Amino acid sequence: MRRKFLFGFGAGIYFHPIETLFKRALLIKEWGKLVGFGRAARMLLFFKFHYLILIFSASTLIPLPSCSGLTIVDSGLGTISLSMGGESISKGPVRTIPDTNTFILTIKGGGGEIYNGLYGIRPKELKVEAGTYTIEVISSVNTGPKFDTPIWSDSKSITVEAGSVNSIALLCRQYNGGLRLGFSPEFKTKFSSYSAEVSDSKGSASYSFTEDRFLYLTPGLFFVKMVPASPDLSPVPLFSKTIAARDMLTVNVRLAGADSASFGSGILIDSTSYWVTDSLLVDSNDGSTKDKAIPVQRLQEYIGLKVWVTGFIVGGDLTTTAIKFDLPFSTKSNLAIASEPGIRERAGCYSVSLPSGTIQTTFNLVDNPANMGKKVWVKGTVNAKYLGLVGIESTTEFILE
């Protein structure tokens, strides 16, 4: 017979059927004939009191949040025992992970969530049914770019067999990457009425010229642009880069021909984080004219802006999921461009709209197949999802080499 006990922060809950109470009344009556009624009642209360202490003690051994109780069954159980540590060997600045008791622990398996709460109040041992379980721990929830907020995490999957004891050691490593920006005096003078903004897949954060802390970002592509204080001015995209977990990246931004800003000297090296210093020259290619056209691979930095972009025609017949790279073509209203004429993968392409009229008549690939592979300059508004790709919509000018 399978019995279940649900434990939360308080004592276990135990319900006594009526027939059990009746039997205890008869027991007092029989004891009363031997030792007296009062003494018999005291004896029963004594055993009852210790019985309740036993139930309460069992419940306190499993201090789970009341919103996610733990079910313990009589048979077919395996045991999960957890421990956690963090990498501490470092050849650069020594950093320690925060108190692991405050980490968020999640255990999933058996078609549901077994535990979701603080690591510090977890049961020392979890008795669970046989099966496969995913164990995740993270120091804090990632809500976007934040200063001085490295996130530490680990994740493991285990298969638990009935009667087995599974000791799992969680090794926490830095989940996100850190970015620090430096600006040359000439750059700060030119953009005195702007402030820097850094964006990743989770959100954005402002980065002032006087800031010297690391801003922690979600691994992947991030963007840096200058945002004007006046609504009459347009944002100025600076650059985009990819950051990986444990990267600690310093980018010194300067104008072409000017001295660079810097933080300290040399390159910091850490066995658990990758400390890298980079320099970036900001040139005059801002997409404002054909001669200052941005390369097509920077389009994602200019979403929502109207710019000139340059690339090579590589395909046509675009849909939201596909591109055709070989002749003949059947659609006149769009084509695909890329950074190199030989690219044949959708991931490396950008979409371009060809509005009806002179632009479409002159440059579509149905009537002009010889345009394939040629270098092109296009002016229009950058759209994040034109035919499923970052691309140019509302095209106003189109020039072939």
Q: What digits encode the pLDDT tens for the residues 22-46?
A: 455 555 555 455 545 555 555 555 4
Looking at 81-85, 222-226, 335-339, which range is the least confident one? 81-85
Give the pLDDT of residue 26: 55
Please say if the pLDDT value at position 197 is more than 90.
yes
Please say if the pLDDT value at position 275 is more than 90.
no
Higher-scoring residue by pLDDT: 2, 287: 287
Q: What average pLDDT does the chain have?
A: 79
Give the pLDDT of residue 394: 94
Please say if the pLDDT value at position 17 is more than 90.
no
Please say if the pLDDT value at position 269 is more than 50.
no
Give the pLDDT of residue 73: 36
Give the pLDDT of residue 24: 54
Please say if the pLDDT value at position 398 is more than 80.
yes
Give the pLDDT of residue 172: 85
pTM: 0.66
Encode the chain in three state secondary structure: CCCCEEECCCCCCCCCCHHHHHHHHHHHHHHHHHHCHHHHHHHHHHHHHHHHHHHHHHHHCCCCCCCCCEEECCCCEEEEEEEEEECCCCCCCCCCCCCHHHCEEEEEECCEEEEEEEHHHCCCEEEEECEEEEEEEECCCCCCCEECCCCEEEEEEEEECCCCEEEEEEEEEECCEEEEEEECHHHHHHCCCEEEEEEECCEEEEECCCCCCCEEECCEEEEEEEEECCCCCCCEEEEEEEECCCEEEEEEEEECCCCCCCCCCCCCCCCCCEEEEEEEEECCCCCCCHHHCEEHHHHHHHCCCEEEEEEEEEEECCCCCCCECCCCCCCCCEEEEECCCCCCCHHHEEEEECCCCHHHHHHCCCCCHHHCCCEEEEEEEEEEEECCEEEEEEEEEEEEC
Please say if the pLDDT value at position 207 is more than 50.
yes
Q: What are the tens digits of pLDDT across the range 282-300? A: 666 788 899 999 999 999 9
